[in-house]
Chains A and B, each alone.
Chain A
Amino acid sequence: MTELGYAQAPAVAAREGVPRPCLGCGAPMAVTADAQLHADATLTCGFCGRSETMPAQAAAQDRYLRLRLMQVRRAREGMEAPLKTYEMMRASGVFALIVFGAQGGWMLWGAFTTADKGSAVFGMLGAAGMMGVILANFGMMRAFRKLIKPLQQARPPAAPGLAARCRSCGGDLPPVRSTHATCAFCGANNFLDNAAAHDVNALLTAEQQDYKVRASGGKPGDNTIYQRPAHAFYVWGAAGAAVTFVVGVVLVLVLV
C-alpha cells in the first residue's frame, strides 16, 4: 500500500530506468516537471525540441512522486525548525561577543583593580554575566558541531564515481566546490566531507543497517536533538557565569 492508501501500481516502479526515445530523432527525452505542482510533466527532446505532455494517468503518477518529495521536505523542515533559532543566535553572536567581551573584560579589570572589595564583588556579577554569554556561544557551536553536523552529512554515492546523495531524499547532489551542497529535489542542506569519498563501502553498509533497524521499529528518532544547540547555549551560559563569578570572587577576596 502507498501513503495515499492505494495499491502500488507496478507501472510507476517500472518507469525508473525505462528509456524514453524521441519519436522525432531517437535521442533520449527528458522528463521536465514544472515547478508548479498542478502543471503536468512533459517529455522534451534536447536535440529536435519535440515536446509531449504526459498522458493524464502518467502525469498524475508523476505528480504523486513530486508530492512525496514535498512531503519529505516538509517533514524535514518541521523537524529541523529549532535550528533557525541556532542560526539566528549564531549570526548575532558576533555583535554579542564584541559588546559583552569588551564590557566583560573591562568589568573584570575593574573588579581586580579596585581597592574596595564590595565594589569588586559587585563588578564580578556583571563580568560573570558577560563571560556567561561568551561561553554560551561557544557551547552552542560545540553542540552543533558534535550533534547536528554528523546528521547533515550527505549520503555516500551509490557506487564509486557517482554523485553523493542527499541525506533527506536520496537524490543525486549537484557537483559543488564547497563543503555544502543543497539538494535540487528537496532543498536539504548537505555537508560534504572526505568520508563520503573514501569510506563509501562502510557508509553504504551503515546506511543499509540503519534502514533495517528503522524498518523493524528499533530506533525511534530523537526529535529533541535539533533543540540541543539552543539548550547548550543556556546550560553553558549559566554554568560559565556561575563558575566565573565563584572563581572571580575567590580571586578578588585573595588578591584585592
Chain B
Amino acid sequence: MPIMCAMPIPLLIIVVIATIGMFIWSRMKLKAGMAQNQDKTFGAVATRLGLSMEEGDPTTNLLYFFEKGGSYKRTLRASGQPYSHVTTFWLTDSVDRKEFIFTRVVRTTKTYGCFLELKMQQPVAPFEVVLRNPHQYITPPQDMSDRADLREMPSGNPAIDAQFIIRAVDPRVPPALVPALQILTQQLYVHIAGEGGQLWMNLTKMGLPYFSAAAEEYLLAFETAACSFEGMPLPARLAAPPPAVAQ
C-alpha cells in the first residue's frame, strides 16, 4: 500500500513533536494538579481537621495516593481534639517484595489501612452505616458484615433510610445518627461504624480522594454523631440537641 508506506518526513516530524509535546504536557498537568491540591496532602488535611502530625511524611498527597517503588513501610498519623472528642487520622501501607533469583519467583505482600477514629466519653452499642447504593468502584468495606446481632433498622427519617443502610443492635442508635448522616448526604463514600467508646471510618484507596476533598464534613459528621449519642449540644446546630442514647 503506497499510502501507508510513504509518510513524508515533515509529517513524521510533526507527529513525533506533537506526541512528545503531549507527553510533556501531561506531566506538567499532573505536576500542576498536585500543586493545586496541596490542601489534600496528609499534613494539610490534618491541619484542616485541627489535628497535629505525629508520624510520617505530611507531604503525602491523598488525592494522588500512589504506592512507592520497591519494598517499603510507611505510617502517617495525626491526632488532636478539634471539637470535644479526641480524634485520630492514620494511614499505613507497605509493600514487601521478595525476589527468589534461582526459582525466578517474585512474591509481593501488600498491606493498607486508613482510618478516621473518634473516641467517645461513653460507650455506644455496635452499629455500621454505609450508602445503600454506592458507586461500584468506591464501595467501603463493612467491618461488621459477619455479625449476626446487627440488623438493618429504620432511622425514622425516610430520606436517610432511602440513602443509607444502618445496621445496629440498639434501635435508639439509628435515629440518633440522623443529624450526622444529613451532613453526609452529598458524599459518594460513606462508612461510619461504632462500638464501645469509639467511632471510626474505614477508608479504602478509592475513598481517600473523596475524604481528602471533604475531610471537614466527615469530621463534623463524626463529632455530631458522638454528641448525639452522648446527649451533648451538636457542633453545628440551630436548636436543642436530641436525647442521649449512649449505654
Contact A5/B236 with A67-B183, A74-B186, A91-B29 known, Cβ cut-off 8 Å? no
From A17-25, A35-43, A138-146, A162-170, the one touching the partner chain is A35-43
Interface residues of B in 171-218 (CB under 8 A from A): 178-179, 182-183, 185-188, 214, 216-217
CB of A176 within 8 A of chain B?
no
- Provide the bound-state CA to CA distance between A95 and B234, in Å: 53
Count of chain B residues with a beta carbon within 8 Å of a chain A beta carbon: 46
Which one, B43-51, B68-76, B93-101, B117-125, is touching chain A? Answer: B43-51
For residue B21, CB closer than 8 A to chain A, the reply is yes
Q: Which of B83-98 contact A (CB under 8 A)?
A: 83
A4/B182 in contact, CB under 8 A: yes
Cβ contacts B44-65/A at 8 Å (1 or 0 each): 0001111000000000000000
Q: Is B237's CB within 8 Å of the partner chain A?
A: yes
Closest 8 CB pairs of A and B: A6-B239, A74-B186, A37-B216, A38-B82, A64-B236, A63-B236, A123-B3, A95-B22
Question: Contacts A38-B220, A67-B183; is A60 near B234 (CB within 8 Å)?
Answer: yes
Query: Interface digits, A1-16 against B, CB 8 Å rule (1 contact, 0 not)?
Result: 0111111110010000
Inter-chain contacts of A126 with B (CB < 8 A): 3
Question: Chain A contacts of B21 at CB under 8 A?
Answer: 95
B238 within 8 A of A: yes
B48: contacting residue among A4, A36, A92, A111, CB under 8 A: A36
B105 close to A (CB within 8 Å): no
Whether a CB of chain A sits under 8 angstroms from the CB of B162 is no
Total interface residues in chain A, CB < 8 Å: 44
* Known contacts A5-B157, A37-B220; A111 and B3 CB within 8 A of each other: yes
A110 adjacent to chain B (CB < 8 Å): yes
* A173 contacts chain B at the CB level, 8 A cutoff: no
Q: Produce 1/0 per residue, B1-30, CB < 8 A to A.
A: 111101110010011001101100110010
Chain A minimum-CB-distance residue to B50: A38
Beta-carbon contact of A38 and B219 below 8 Å? yes
Contact of A56 among B6, B14, B233 (CB under 8 A): B233
| Cross-chain contact A5 with B182 (CB below 8 angstroms) | yes
Which residues 72-123 of A have a CB within 8 angstroms of B?
74-75, 78, 91-92, 95, 98-99, 102-103, 106-107, 110-111, 114, 116, 119-120, 122-123
A209 within 8 A of B: no
Contacts of A114 in B (CB 8 A): 2-3
State whether B1 touches A92 (Cβ < 8 A): no
Cα distance A126–B5 when bound, in Å? 13
Query: Per DSSP, are chain A's interface residues mostly helix, strand or loop, or mixed?
Result: helix
Contact A70 B22 (CB under 8 A): no
Residues of B within 8 A of A78 (CB): 186, 188
In the bound assembly, the distance between CA atoms of A3 and B240 in angstroms comes to 15
A32 contacts chain B at the CB level, 8 A cutoff? no
13 further contact pairs, Cβ within 8 A, besides A38-B235, A63-B236, A71-B217: A5-B157, A9-B238, A37-B48, A37-B220, A38-B83, A64-B236, A78-B188, A92-B25, A92-B26, A95-B19, A95-B21, A106-B11, A119-B1
Asked, given contacts A36-B48, A38-B49, A71-B185, whether A9 binds B239 with beta carbons under 8 Å apart, the answer is yes
- A6-B238 in contact (CB<8A): yes
Could you say which residues of chain A place their CB within 8 Å of the CB of B178? 5
A3-B182, A4-B179 known; A67 and B14 CB under 8 Å? no
Name 25 interchain pairs, CB-CB below 8 A, sorted by A. Answer: A3-B182, A4-B182, A5-B178, A7-B238, A9-B238, A12-B238, A36-B50, A38-B49, A38-B235, A60-B234, A60-B237, A61-B238, A64-B236, A67-B236, A70-B216, A71-B185, A74-B187, A75-B186, A95-B25, A99-B19, A102-B11, A106-B8, A107-B3, A119-B1, A120-B3
